[in-house]
Amino acid sequence: MRRSPKDQVESERRIGRRAMLLGTVQAAAIATLAIRLRYLQVDQAAEFKLLADENSIKIRLLPPARGLILERGGHVIAGNEQNYRITITREDAGDTDMVLDRIARLVAFEPGKIDDVRAEIARRSPTLPITVADRLDWQEFSRVAVNAPALPGVTTEVGLSRFYPHGPDFAHVLGYVGPVSDYDLSKLSDPDPLLQIPRFQIGKLGVESKFEDTLRGKAGTKRIEVNSTGRVMRELGRVEGEPGADVQLTIDYRLQNYVQARLGEESAAAVVLDLEKGDVLAINSAPSFDPNLFVRGISGPEYRALTDHDHRPLADKTVQGAYPPGSTFKLVTAMAALEAGVISSDETVYCPGYTQLGDRKFHCWKRAGHGYMDMVESLQQSCDVYYYEVAQRTGIDKISEMARKFGIGVKFDLPMSAISEGLAPDRNWKQSTYDKPWLIGDTLNTGIGQGYVLASPLQLAVMSARIATGRAIVPRLVQAVGGKEVPSEPAPSLGLSDAFLNTVRRGMFEVSNTQRGTAYGSRIVDETMWMAGKTGTSQVRNITAAERARGVVSNDDLPWERRDHALFVSFAPYEAPRIAVSIVVEHGGGGSAAAAPIARDIVLQALYGGLPPLSAYPQSQRNRIEAQRNELKLLPPDDNSAGGQSRA
């Protein structure tokens, strides 16, 4: 069938349009390829020429800024400061011995430092930059930079290093950072490439260690050009890393500073808890140390001075220390007895000065005895015989159950190192540990906080907080991570009788506020701030029958390490509790003399939010308190420093 002339013209027109469209597309594709070829061959020619020589382009990791650690008000307690350092890369340096000798003429090194660097270079991959020196002053840094042409493989860098502006105040909480060790790497199956950088620092203890992954951040990279001699010619480009997230703690830095100063050179620990959320407001171990020493590289003599010190400044006594709680544990025994129904609050027990059990005497601290005591009086005067009796009636299993309910024998999940679980012993524990049955004498000893029972200062603070509130307060140390609040649930009820709790609280009130109370000398006279407390003294040596017969040797006449531990637990204000405090003074003697005065001062500092008026103290003590304050090394009142905040 033949097409009409009209159809043939239309067909030719369509074919023409299609051919034109196809030609246009082809032309555009050719033009694009031409432009791309010109870009690659002309515009980028220099860079691709460099890339062709694989030894002239190096990729280096850029350590990110470590996240800050803040206290509850936002002040920096672990920050970063500029650090001038020089590194050397064996692959680029060639003759590293010659280069190191040249550097040694420009920088003053400690004896043996260059040998250490040589050993580090030999151990590491030739492509890794090795830190030759850091924390240089500007003059040394500039001399090396100016002489860079004669130092192949050497790079001058301005980096960041950890800095702790409050030094010893937060040492045990924060821990410190230090260079990654082979041991650190051995614990990881897939280590972050950052950790392969020699002398890269990671958290070693405390919050720095527990939040390492959060604080570290993510590495950046930079591309550098080096010439045939290994000299860095220029930086071709960089991708900045991702800074670590900030971590904000619940601690009040001013209260922390005061508590550390108040503990002074005692071998002691103190914990302050907020009773609303369980926030740790202060947690101090004394004596302390400056964590900046470990960041900068602590010397042998400095380290030995810390490890050889009999007061153990490196140990965190607040969570690692486990002590016989002494008479502070009578609060647990009293509650266990009341809940078990074996005694009422007004029933009396006669104290002749001892309890006879078979052929053994269990003595009261008051040799002549206390006479008849009810529960409030037994707490007020800390009568041992009363608690021998009620402990025997109650039994160890119920006492241990109550101890755990109050937090003793419980390991709390705080981001601190080597937290002790303490010990609330019972029959099964002794059988499994010593393969021996539990004895009645063990129960009597436990009833007064001696024998096997152990508690940390943190657990004692929790015990006091739970007695004060009747709720299962759990200590909380972290307030926010990366700017996001860490949620906290309201503490549930312990399920204990309010009447029984009020009896124990009343006993604690009389300890601190009545003339026969064991802590009356450390009372607070401001009625709105009244403190309720309990003294404790735990023996660290056995007293023989012969020594009792001739008179027990006073703590003051014993060597320091053989003296009793002094303890005090408290909450305040009595009518509307807001805080709980625990104090342990190792080998301090009596709790009333050594621990209670410290606790009273800390309670007032916490409640007033600063130094309290002298009118809060008994009239007879005000001159001494004022003189004592003048000796404390405290932050100045107008100190708003937030040192160490730099990320740049």
Average pLDDT over residues 142-161: 82
How sure is the predictor about 540, in pLDDT bands with cuts at 50, 70 and 90?
Answer: confident
Bridge-based pairing of strands 177-179 and 220-226 is: unpaired
Query: In this prediction, what percent of the chain has a pLDDT beyond 90?
Result: 60
Q: Locate 334 and state its tokens.
A: 């009293």
Which residue ranges does the chain devote to CATH 3.90.1310.10?
Answer: 57-249
Q: What is the model's pTM?
A: 0.84
Determine whether domain 57-249 maps to CATH 1.10.10.10.
Answer: no
How sure is the predictor about 647, in pLDDT bands with cuts at 50, 70 and 90?
Answer: very low
Among 267, 285, 288, 327, which one carries the catalytic annotation? 327
Mean pLDDT over all residues of the chain? 88
pLDDT at 645 over 50: no
Q: Could you give the CA distance from residue 7 to residue 173 in angstroms, rounded to a whole number?
A: 93
Lowest mean pLDDT among 201-215, 596-610, 626-640: 626-640
Q: Could you give the CA distance from residue 414 to residue 261 in angstroms, rounded to a whole number?
A: 24
Task: Find out whether 92 and 128 touch, Cβ atoms under 8 Å.
Answer: no
For 59-73, what is each residue's pLDDT tens digit?
Answer: 777 778 899 999 999
Q: Locate 45 and state its tokens.
A: 């020619």
- Closest by alpha carbon to 402, among 329, 500, 335? 335
Task: Find out whether 322 and 459 touch, Cβ atoms under 8 Å.
Answer: no
For 80-96, what is each residue's pLDDT tens digit?
Answer: 988 888 888 887 788 88
For 560-581, what is each residue's pLDDT tens digit?
Answer: 778 899 999 999 999 999 999 9
Task: Find out whether 262 and 601 touch, Cβ atoms under 8 Å.
Answer: yes
For 299-318, what is each residue's pLDDT tens digit?
Answer: 888 999 999 999 999 999 99
Whether residue 299 lies in the annotated active site: no
Average pLDDT over residues 350-378: 94
How sure is the predictor about 641, in pLDDT bands with cuts at 50, 70 and 90?
Answer: very low
Phi and psi dihedrals of 363, rounded to 5?
A: -90, 150
Amino acid 7: pLDDT: 63
Q: Locate 431 and state its tokens.
A: 């059988």
Q: Could you give the CA distance from residue 469 to residue 558 in angstroms, rounded to a whole number?
A: 40
Amino acid 642: pLDDT: 46
Superfamily of domain 253-290+317-477+489-546+553-631: DD-peptidase/beta-lactamase superfamily (3.40.710.10)
Q: Of 234-243, 366-375, 636-645, which has the strongest mean pLDDT?
A: 366-375
Which residue ranges does the chain devote to CATH 3.40.710.10?
Answer: 253-290+317-477+489-546+553-631
Amino acid 646: pLDDT: 40
